[in-house]
Structure 1
Amino acid sequence: SGCLTGTHFVLQLDVFARLLLPFCLGRYGLFQKQLTLLEEAEGGFDQFTRSYESFGAHRLSDNSMLFREWAPAAEAVFLTGDFNGWDKFSHPYKKKQFGKWELQLPPKEDNSPAVAHNSKLKVVVHTKGGERLYRISPWATYVTKPSTSVIYDWIFWDPPHPYVRKHPRPRKPCSLRIYEAHVGIASPECKVASYSNFTHNVLPRIKDLGYNCIQLMAIMEHAYYASFGYQVTSFFSASSRYGTPEELKELIDVAHSLGIMVLLDVVHSHASKNTEDGLNHFDGSDSCFFHGGARGEHPVWDSRLFNYSSWEVLRFLLSNLRWWIDEYGFDGFRFDGVTSMLYHHHGVGSGFSGNYAEYFGLHVDEDSLVYLMLANHILHMLYQDCITIAEDVSGMPTLCRPVQEGGCGFDYRLAMAIPDKWIQVRALKGGSIIITHTTNVPCALVGDKTLAFWLMDKDMYTNMSALIPMNPVIDRGVQLHKMIRLLTHGLGGEGYLNFMGNEFGHPEWLDFPRVGNSESYHYARRQFNLVDTDHLRYWQLYVFDRDMNRTEAKYGWLAAAPAYVSTKHEGDKVIIFERGDVVFVFNFHPTNSYSSYRVAVGTPGKYRIKLDSDDLEYGGHGRLDHNTDFFTEPIPFNERANSMQVDPDRPHLYTPKVTSVWD
């Protein structure tokens, strides 16, 4: 009945979805069945998702040790490491039911644990075919890569003085303003930056800019740095290349002290093919954690695909979500690769036009869908202010409806097919730009130019000084960069996401050290030093980003109803819309300014300019009088009951700039 009520609600939003009622009921039925099984077999999802407390390696309260693994295809399992002189056979696991293996070690004679903090360990798996495999536990909480090796070591992490959180979690904001960041590139230096660097040097910038949420990328350990964190090898390990687990905990705690939530970019859509330091072939079989055969291989990403119908895979992944929240203090997740999870074709070679047949049918992977429903249901039941975001390019209906309404349960959808839309509509012949409705934020993509570099290119190397007049390329690029961000912020959706560096117009492109660039870190860094150089115009773009966020914090347009676009004039290159009692007015024309321009308004009253991209402080030309009052008239215009005239003796719509936000 819960699904029926919710489904009726969804169908009221879209009467054309009535034919989909059987599919919605079916999906919810599968979810309820899985939830019931959890209750019957595991005592409920709370206990089930705490499995990280017993799997892997643990020191118990009496200093005895417990080791537990799931390796259903193994013939025998042993533990080796520093603690036993790397003896391969002295410490066998006992075989338990359902493919589980367990080993208990008493304390030493001095009552110290048998395995000390920072000890190296390996699981030795003997296969039925006679192979001997050396593996890292899938539940390992810390792994490191020695400089002399390409293979990671499993380190038993049990510090004598673990980090203790000092600050409460912030409450979920009404308006979500996300600063997407990569710890390793968060420094001007040509190296892998650290958690501590981010805590002390980047968090203050994020607070100053007015973002209330951080999305951290590439935290789950990945052997290949250039994978941007999307080829995960150890799912419970925070990447050691940036520092220790305790330093990441401090980063999150300090962010909380600043009122900033922290989301983890979680990768449950696929896993690295690595065997010695990954999940692949952990027990010697092709199907441990993953689908066997072709179904377990991603055709494009060269990675393994989880078997979401497996009970132990559900245990592993759902516990993994719980681990990052309970152990580190994360406030939620951006789920990577949701499109790949939702469909058997993984979105490869499939366009999505909005036809409902594309989202329902045999091509939908219901096992994956039910896993996502379970994940969202459990997270929101356990953590009231948890935020979940789906990275989906397909536009799956009901993705962001609550599970009890027959939806998938995400709070937000990040439409990753759209960030490059602004690249597609960048300056055209004559410097004009096509006004295009977009639902996401422009950001840098790996291997591609930043938005600012698309707009200004090599001129950024020689003409970004505020001590010299702007040439036409820099002038146009600086103004458009501000306008694009504000248009996306105001019109794009219910949340705003900015990738680190875009706030100040980071030049060049983003690329990680790899063989193709001689392992260079030159483009795998964010040049915050450009912002700190007062005479460069990067500071002007930074201040605009800050004031844009602060203006939103005051007027709350992200939490308001969708915008009403009253003017979208292709010839004039003018777009005007209202959202949250704020009027946005843009003039994108490269040469034309306008006077006597009528602006449609829904709410009558007096309006004043509150944010102006043409302000001198933001690198504009200061052509607008901010002390002017604009009074509406009861003159219907563009399907709005009221309007106001921008007269010749009042501020014009000069170009290129936005002449508002007005309130």
Structure 2
Amino acid sequence: MLQLIEDDPWLAPYESDLNTRFNYFNEELARIENKYGSLINYAGRHHELGFHHDTSKKGWWYREWAPAAESLFLKGDFNDWNSESHPLKKKDGGIWEIFIPDKEGLKNFSQVKVQVKGANGTNDRIPAYTRYALQNPQTHDFTACVWQDKKKFPWTDKKFKLKEIKSPLIYECHPGMAQEIEGVGTFREFEENVLPRIKDLGYNCIQMMAVKEHPYYGSFGYHVSNYFAPSSRFGTPEDLKSLINKAHEMGMAVIMDMVHSHAVKNFAEGLNDFDGSGHQYFHEGGRGYHTGWDSKLFDYGKEEVSRFLLSNIRYWLEEFHFDGFRFDGVTSMLYHHHGEGVAFDHYDKYFKEGVDWDAIRYLQLANTLIHELKPEAISIAEDMSGMPGNCRPVSEGGVGFDYRLGMGIPDEWIKLLKHKKDEEWKMMEVWNVLSNRRQGEKTVAYAESHDQAMVGDKTLAFWLMDKEMYWHMRKDDKNLIIDRGIALHKMIRLITSSVGGEAYLNFIGNEFGHPEWIDFPREGNQWSYKYARRQWSLVDNPELKFEYLNNFDQAMVNLLKDNNVLSAQPAQLLNVDETNQVLIFERANLIFVFNFHPNHSVPDYEFWIPKAGKFQYLLNSDDPHFGGHNRIDSKTVVHTSFEKEGGDFLKIYCVNRTALVLKKM
């Protein structure tokens, strides 16, 4: 019996389905190993296809998979864009190839396209395995660039130990919007200006969005066109390597927002109908189109598609030293219905109704490959369905991810802030949302990510303080709305991180309550960058209250890290007081006290604790350094009192809208 079923008896009725899924994976892995020697070799297609310089023959090989194409011609600045002078020859398996001697002028950063003749006519296309593409600033068209790291980037990150990151504290970021200027930031600017901020806050992991080339900037990087190419709008491949190298030198892991769930439908820039067949990389007809995302859907059952995507994983891990991936849109991959309009209220929904077995097998292969190449790598699933076993090892019958995103948590905070008055919040409901997760499957907790910051929604800071943030964020300005917002902003983040999972995520700028939303340049806003940036000057201004939230985030992150809170056993509930809206729990031998009440501050508040002793305050959200009212002396040592019938109790001043963390001395 699979370990997954032994650990969850509710899965017993689905043993046949899980065994079938497990065998489907094992049979494919055995076939791959028998034919290619190993899964790693199988995922080496990028070493064969695309452009590769042959030093012995002094020239470039270019190879392309286009089984239905009638002819392919390479054209570019090296041959004055001649459409006939450099034809490719068709080989076995639908592979086309050509060799171009150095003397003909092809070199690193030469601009090229491949002319493909097929059933859909004759069209200029971007080679599928291109490693760099440039966008014309006038026409906005993309052109492929020949690129190979011939000089070998001087990596200096050998001392970085990924295995030392036991619990990821993730800073989600977008390189283009990381600058204050109203424009597109670069990898170099991010390295110089933003990495030190992240390091100073204490985060140990960066999650980078929009790394791969995408034609429409406003897609946030989720409509990928060129899977092996870092977006040229942020800089060169060497610039990205420099950023990752510097992050490693600072002790921070770097993971990529990996989009293998769909691809841009654009014909000119992407893979859509590359060879004219209509179904080369993607499913044929309606199954190959995601109506909600207006994008194309991969056919994971095809060998060349599987090799393309798995090689993509290997390429980013090896060539750029990424430390893992956050897989976007996993729910869409797992089911033919993509999770749209489906309530996952029964186990049948996970194993019997509309499940895409090819996609599950691909994800199992992907996670197997990731951990073969880099055993300590971080693999995260963005899955809102909650499929059992998604974050269990493949050997146990799972899909193999290390973590899943706790997507229900931010939704609950928004619902509370939007629909309920503060005094209506129920502590047990908050606790259940944060603590309810599958045993043995790790969760990345977060109060808000980029999703909650986009136009059409609001950040937590904006839900809490709204327009008051424009006028009352000076430290000498007393304002009740701002006071409430700052207090709850701190409490929401601390309780989310300390209860909600085994890892924590924050989106760039939200740690200091960045005002407003994110709105990328588009026709509807006159192509403005005003809201596609981060206003660091707000948190850097010592006269503004943003500094308070930044100070608290730094203290919170370091408390979680220094006390190994996220790698400890799940939080244990000690006290629920709905009258005073007090929630108390223990995790990692720390006592967390939250009083969410608008005005109930309770002197000599008494509650049971598991161990007697003297306790000191490690964190006090009411501290003036965090914008609090200084109602508690954080230097106070609290002693337990012994009660004959009930055990040991602590007695503290339980201040309203305040979070406290105590540790036994």
| TM-score interval, normalised by the smaller of the two chains | over 0.9
TM-score after normalising by structure 1? 0.94
2:461 aligned counterpart, secondary structure: helix
Displacement of 1:148: 1.2
Are positions 1:458 and 2:467 aligned together?
A: yes
Between the two proteins, the alignment pairs up a number of residues equal to 643
Equivalent residue number for residue 388 of structure 2: 397
Q: Residue 43 in 1 paired to residue 43 in 2?
A: no
Of 244, 259, 262, 1:270 maps to: 262
Q: Name the counterpart of 2:84.
A: 89
Does residue 1:136 correspond to 2:126, yes or no?
yes
Amino acid at match of 2:282: F
- Name the amino acid aligned to 1:229: G
- 1:159 Cα deviation after fit: 6.0
1:335 pairs with 323, 327, 335, which one? Answer: 327
Which of 525, 528, 538 is the matching residue for 1:520? 528
Using the alignment, how far apart are the partners of 2:143 and 2:101 within structure 1?
A: 24
In 2, are the aligned partners of 1:398 and 1:406 still within 8 Å (CA)? yes
CA contact (8 A) 2:609 2:650 kept: no
Q: Is the 8 A contact 1:68 1:100 kept in 2?
A: yes
Matches within 5 A, 1:428-439: 428-429=420-421, 433-435=425-427, 436-437=430-431, 438-439=433-434
Over residues 365-385 of structure 1, what are the superposed CA-to-partner deviations in whole Å (9 max), with x where a residue is unaligned?
000000000000111112121
Distance in 1 (CA, whole Å) between partners of 2:87 and 2:371 is 40
Q: Which residue of 2 aligns with 1:489?
A: 497
Q: Deviations over 1:66-86 (max 9, x none)?
A: 111111110111111111111
Distance 1:502 1:431 in 2: 25
Residue matched to 1:258: 250
1:655 match: 656
Compared CA separation, residues 634 and 150, structure 1 to 2 (3 A): same
1:345–1:363 CA contact under 8 A, matched in 2: yes
1:76-475 residue pairs with structure 2 within 5 A? Answer: 76-108=71-103, 114-128=105-119, 131-158=121-148, 161-168=151-158, 169-172=160-163, 173-353=165-345, 355-426=346-417, 428-429=420-421, 433-435=425-427, 436-437=430-431, 438-439=433-434, 440-443=445-448, 444-447=452-455, 448-468=457-477, 470-475=478-483
Whether contact under 8 Å (1:482, 1:613) holds in the other structure is yes
> In structure 1, what is the equivalent of residue 605 of structure 2?
597
Deviations 1:17-56 (A, max 9, x none): 2112212211110111111111122222121212111111
CA deviation digits over 1:269-306, x for unaligned, max 9? Answer: 00000111101011112101000011101121110000
The Cα offsets for residues 234-253 of structure 1, whole Å up to 9 and x where unpaired, read as: 10010111111100100000
Q: 1:632 Cα shift?
A: 3.1
Q: Which of 644, 650, 658 in structure 1 is aligned with 2:649?
A: 644
- Determine helix, strand or coil for the equivalent of 1:249: helix
- Do 2:406 and 2:500's aligned partners in 1 also have CA atoms closer than 8 Å? no
Q: Deviations over 1:527-564 (max 9, x none)?
A: 11111101111111101100111111121110011111
Task: Give me the whole-angstrom Cα distance separating, in 1, the residues matched to 2:229 and 2:402.
Answer: 26
Following superposition, the deviation at residue 628 of structure 1 comes to 2.4
State whether residues 591 and 663 of structure 2, in contact with CA within 8 Å, keep that contact through their aligned partners in structure 1.
yes
How many angstroms apart in 2 are the aligned matches of 1:345 and 1:69? 32
Give the whole-Å Cα distance in 1 for the aligned partners of 2:8 and 2:662. Answer: 32
Q: Please say if 1:578 is aligned against 2:586.
A: yes
Tell me, in whole angstroms, the C-alpha distance in 1 between the residues paired with 2:119 and 2:468.
64
Give the conservation status (yes or no) of the 8 Å contact 2:50–2:64.
yes
RMSD: 1.7
Q: Judging changes above 3 Å, is the alpha-carbon distance between structure 1 residues 278 and 563 closer, same or farther for their aligned structure 2 residues? A: same
2: CA distance between counterparts of 1:223 and 1:149?
12
User: How far 1:606 sits from its partner (Å)?
Assistant: 2.2
Q: Deviations over 1:191-236 (max 9, x none)?
A: 1111111101100011111100000001111111111111001100
My pick for the range that moved more, 45-54 or 565-574, is 565-574
Q: Please, which runs of 5 or more residues in structure 2 have no aligned partner? A: 435-444
Deviation of the 1:14 alpha carbon: 1.7
CA shift for structure 1 position 362: 4.2
- Residue in structure 1 matched with residue 551 of structure 2 by the alignment: 543
Q: SS of 2:270's equivalent?
A: coil
**Partner residue of 2:619?**
611
The one-letter amino acid paired with 1:106 is P
Aligned partner letter, 2:567: A
Give the whole-Å Cα distance in 1 for the aligned partners of 2:509 and 2:602: 33
- Which amino acid counterpart does residue 516 of structure 1 have in structure 2? G
> What is the distance in 2 between the residues matched to 1:366 and 1:430?
45
- Residue 31 of structure 1 corresponds to which residue in structure 2? 25
In the alignment, what sits opposite 2:437?
none
1:167 CA displacement: 1.3
Offset of 1:587 from its aligned partner?
0.2
| Secondary structure at 1:23 match in 2 | helix
Paired with 2:360 and 2:609, the residues of 1 have a C-alpha distance of 43
Contact persistence 1:630–1:644 (CA under 8 A): no
Q: Say which is worse superposed, 336-345 or 571-580, in terms of deviation.
A: 571-580
CA distance in 2, matches of 1:462, 1:298: 43
Q: Which runs of 5+ in 1 are unaligned?
A: none
Q: Please say if residues 432 and 588 of structure 1, whose CA atoms lie closer than 8 Å, have aligned partners that are also in contact.
A: no
Whole-angstrom distance in 2 between the partners of 1:642 and 1:324:
55
- 8 Å Cα contact 1:144/1:153 also seen in 2: yes
Q: Which moved more, 1:305-314 or 1:430-439?
A: 430-439
Q: Aligned to 1:418, what secondary structure does the other structure show?
A: helix
Deviation (angstroms), 1:633: 4.3
